[in-house]
């Protein structure tokens, strides 16, 4: 994975290669992974949110019931 193994060789080259992150050339795969993680996050968090909402909606607490759950103090 290492793009640079010797800084002296790298910086004294006739033309210094710009990108130095590991795996230069694999950017397409990295972007694909990011897209999957991003879209996946929406699906997972949506399912979690839906389940939380359904739970509260099913129990139908009153609009002042939250006050008995205040823990401050």
Partner 1 sequence: MTDQLSALTTIFTEFYYWITVVLMFLIHVGFCMYEVGASRYKHHQHTLMKNTMLIPLVTVTWFLFGWWIYWAFPTGPGLAPSIMNESAALITDESLFSAAWYVPTSDLMGTNLNDHISGVFWAAFLLFSWTAASIVSGAVIERITTFAFGILAIAIGSCFWVIDAAWGWHFDGWMLKILGYHDAYASGVIHAVAGGFALGVLAVLGPRIGKFSSSGEPRNIGPRNPWLVTIGLFLIYTGFWGFYAACNIPIFNLGPEYGMEGVTFWTATNIYVTPTTLSAITFNFLMSLSGGLLAGYVISKGDPFWTYSSGLAGIICASAGNDLYHPIQSFIIAMVGVWVAYKMHYWVERKFKIDDAVGAVAVHGYAGVAGLIICGFVLNGYPSSGYSVGAMWVGTDYAPINPLGMFIGAIIMFGVLGFLPGWILAKILHGMGKLRIPREVELAGLDYTIMEDAKSDEKAVSSSSR
For binding to partner 1 (CB under 8 A), which residues are involved? 16-21, 24, 27-28, 31, 34-35, 38, 42, 45-46, 49, 52-57, 59-63, 65-66, 68-71
CB of 45 to partner 1, least distance (A): 7
Burial tier of 4 (Cβ tally within 10 Å: 0-12, 13-18, 19+)? middle
CB of 64 to partner 1, least distance (A): 9
CB of 65 to partner 1, least distance (A): 6
From the list 40, 44, 63, the residue with the least C-alpha distance to 52 is 44
Greatest extent of the chain over all pairs of C-alpha atoms, in Å:
74
């Amino acid at each position: 994975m290492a793009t640079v193994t010797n800084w002296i060789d790298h910086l004294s080259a006739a033309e210094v290669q710009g990108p130095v992150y590991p795996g230069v050339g694999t950017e397409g795969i990295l972007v694909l992974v990011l897209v999957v993680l991003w879209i996946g996050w929406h699906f997972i968090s949506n399912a979690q949110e839906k389940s939380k909402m359904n739970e509260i909606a099913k129990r139908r607490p009153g609009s002042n019931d939250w006050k008995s759950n205040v823990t401050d103090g």
